[in-house]
């Protein structure tokens, strides 16, 4: 398994654990946060866990093209990992506090940056995986 897949899968497992803990905490009778934590733990589970596991496994298992036949890491895959995880960390840190600091420009700017990081991460992942989703491997002749 390439290193980038291990990073995706291990961080996915961490988000799964955190998401379940947060969902549990949000259900406690003495925690009265209303729906503030709901988008946080849902995104921890759906994006942090499920989507990252899919990304890690697909980068590992999907057919490779040409020179990449050896399971090496590529720049778009690394970009996808770091952009997605920095976007998620920013989002999970700031999202529950948005209603409290709605007039604060710095908070709004962090939210905007987080949204842009999410989009950039998905574009990087698609850049990595799109050419590998194909019917027949492209044969590359070795130059003598």
Partner 1 sequence: MMPLQSVYMIRLSLAWLLLSTLVGAVLLVHKAYGIHPSAWLLLPLHFEMAIWGWMVQLVIGTAYWMFPRFLRIDIRGPELPAWIMVFLFNSGLFLILSGHMVKSASGLILSGRILLLTGIGIFIYLIWSRVISYRNL
Reference 42, options 32, 34, 50, 33; nearest CA is: 50
Q: Which tokens belong to 79?
A: 């970009």
Is 50 among the residues that bind partner 1 (CB under 8 A)? yes
Binds partner 1 (CB under 8 A): choice among 67, 136, 139, 141: 136
Please report whether residue 138 would count as binding partner 1 according to CB under 8 A: no
* 20 vs 98 by CB, closer to partner 1: 98
101 φ/ψ angles, rounded to the nearest 5 degrees: -120, 40
Residues near partner 1 (CB under 8 A), total: 28
Measuring CA to CA, which residue among 140, 95, 137, 136 is closest to residue 113?
Answer: 95
Residue 119 within binding range of partner 1, rule CB under 8 A: yes
Name the DSSP letter for residue 142: P
Minimum CB separation of residue 83 from partner 1 in Å reads 12
Residue closer to partner 1, measured from CB, 42 or 78: 42
Residue from 46, 89, 100, 140 touching partner 1 (CB under 8 A): that is: 46
Instruction: Tell me if 47 sits within 8 A of 36, measured CB to CB.
Output: no
Q: What is the DSSP string of 86-141?
A: HHHHHHHHHGGGTTTTTT-HHHHHHHHHHHHHHHHHHHHHHHHHGGG--SSPPP-P
- Nearer residue to partner 1 within complex by CB, 2 or 63: 63
Interface residues with partner 1 (CB under 8 A)? 46, 50-51, 54, 63, 91, 95, 98, 102, 107-108, 111-112, 114-116, 118-119, 122-123, 126, 129-130, 133-137
């Amino acid at each position: 398994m390439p290193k980038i897949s291990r990073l995706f899968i291990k961080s996915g497992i961490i988000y799964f654990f955190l998401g379940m803990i947060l969902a549990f905490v949000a259900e406690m009778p003495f925690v009265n946060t209303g729906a503030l934590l709901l988008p946080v733990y849902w995104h921890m589970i759906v994006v942090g866990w499920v989507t990252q596991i899919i990304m890690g496994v697909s980068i590992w298992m999907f057919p490779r093209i040409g020179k990449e036949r050896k399971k090496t890491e590529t720049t778009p895959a690394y970009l996808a990992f770091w952009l997605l995880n920095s976007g998620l960390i920013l989002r999970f840190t700031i999202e529950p506090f948005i209603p409290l600091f709605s007039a604060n420009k710095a908070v709004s700017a962090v939210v905007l940056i987080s949204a842009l990081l999410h989009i950039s991460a998905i574009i990087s992942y698609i850049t990595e995986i799109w050419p590998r989703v194909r019917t027949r491997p492209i044969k590359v002749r070795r130059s003598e």
